[in-house]
Amino acid sequence: MLLIPSVAAILAGTQSKSIGIFYLQIPHQTNVPQSEAQARIAVNSDLVVLPVTVKDRKGQLVPDLQKDEFRVFDDQVEQSIDVFTAEAFPLSLVVLIDDDLKSADAEQMAPSLRAIAGGISPSDEVRICRFDLRFYPGEGFTSDPGPLAAEIKLAQDRSAPSTSGPVPWVGSPSDHPLSVGEPPISAPTDLGHAPTKALDDAILAAAELLRDRTAGRRKLILLISDGENGKQFNHFTYGDTLAALLQGNVSLYSLAVGRNSFHRKFTTMLNYANDTGGDIFYAAKRDALEKLYSRITEQARHEYTLAYRPRGNDRNSNYHVVKVLTTREGVLAKSRPGYYTTQVANAPQS
């Protein structure tokens, strides 16, 4: 189990502050007894559990595959699937909200947060968290609509456009009086602005909150952000954070906020989604954001679940490469690309 002591310091030091896709529609039920598949996963800690999304060439979910249409490889060795189900799993969800958006983006995002509750079923548990330079862990997981609504309202208020002025950008190291013989810069350089948030640390802290949630649930982070990341403010690297996500079997879904939907600033969000078997969605306007919340949770809830006991893989490695294929033509199966079996000392870097 991955233990990162410094995360406790992050949590302890935080204080709250004053595209056409077909989605399965399965009626939500209260007090649904745990299924056989969920029960087997919950009591077998040696199983590798893979949530798998399958889409066709148009990006539509494919809901009718059978067990014998999947093939799973662990370190290039084909595995026997011990547990297979297409049933809905309850979610343990951390909604991780960027608290330092540009005013125009915050103006669209903040009012949309109320729609998050529409994608939550009675069997789910949700925790609302925020981040900027620090991580704000919220009040805890809840399945109660009342406290959830209050937490969403608080996040909405705190994430609204700032009334303070912009943080001044400190000039680059080359901003200095010219020395004798030093040529001047031929044209002005757009240095942009200084990112004032620690994205990697926030995701890792969210993963730690999910680590000990009940087995047999789908563990998920929904990251709502513009993707900016001040690497100098992070205590942990992309590799550290990815290792925590993979070892905790946490999938990350990214909701990229901003008008430049495919700008390179979203690369980190895209990488986290791809490397954990999650997905990424883009939205700039409030109405688009509101529609996506329930779609994201429905996709995560209704993924296929494959589980197996590793046989014949590389026992000398603590990281194992996984590949999931389907024999049906014209569709693509997507899952996390690997998992850790022991405490991570040196995680792969992005």
- Asked whether residue 40 is assigned to any structural domain, the reply reads no
The Cα–Cα gap between 294 and 283 comes to: 14
Q: What does the pLDDT read at residue 321?
A: 95
In a shared domain, residues 269 and 310: no
What pLDDT, in 10s, does the model give residues 232-249? 899 999 999 999 999 999
Question: What six digits make up the tokens of 116?
Answer: 């998050």
Q: What does the pLDDT read at residue 174?
A: 44
The Cα–Cα gap between 291 and 226 comes to: 18
Q: What does the pLDDT read at residue 262?
A: 55
In a shared domain, residues 139 and 252: yes
DSSP 21-65: ---------SSPPPPHHHHHHHH-TT-EEEEEEEEETTS-B----
- Among residues 301, 319, 335, the one where a domain terminates is 301
Cα-trace Rg, the chain: 21
In a shared domain, residues 112 and 222: yes
In a shared domain, residues 151 and 248: yes
- Asked whether residue 29 is assigned to any structural domain, the reply reads no
In a shared domain, residues 75 and 108: no
- Asked whether residue 252 is assigned to any structural domain, the reply reads yes
- Asked whether residue 4 is assigned to any structural domain, the reply reads no
Pairing of strands 304-308, 48-56: antiparallel
The answer to whether 131 and 223 have CB atoms below 8 angstroms apart is no
Nearest to 207 by CA among 174, 178, 239, 243: 243
pLDDT < 50 positions in the chain: 1-33, 165-176, 179, 182, 185-192, 345-350
Rounded to 10 degrees, the C-alpha dihedral 257/259/262/263 comes to -100
What pLDDT, in 10s, does the model give residues 81-98? 999 999 888 999 999 999
Q: How many domains does the chain have?
A: 2
CATH of the domain at 249: 3.40.50.410
Structural domain containing residue 155? 89-160+194-301
Q: What does the pLDDT read at residue 263?
A: 64
Q: What does the pLDDT read at residue 162?
A: 58
- Asked whether residue 96 is assigned to any structural domain, the reply reads yes
The answer to whether 253 and 336 have CB atoms below 8 angstroms apart is no
In a shared domain, residues 290 and 311: no
Q: Is the pTM of this model over 0.75?
A: yes
- Which residue carries 């189900």 as its tokens? 85
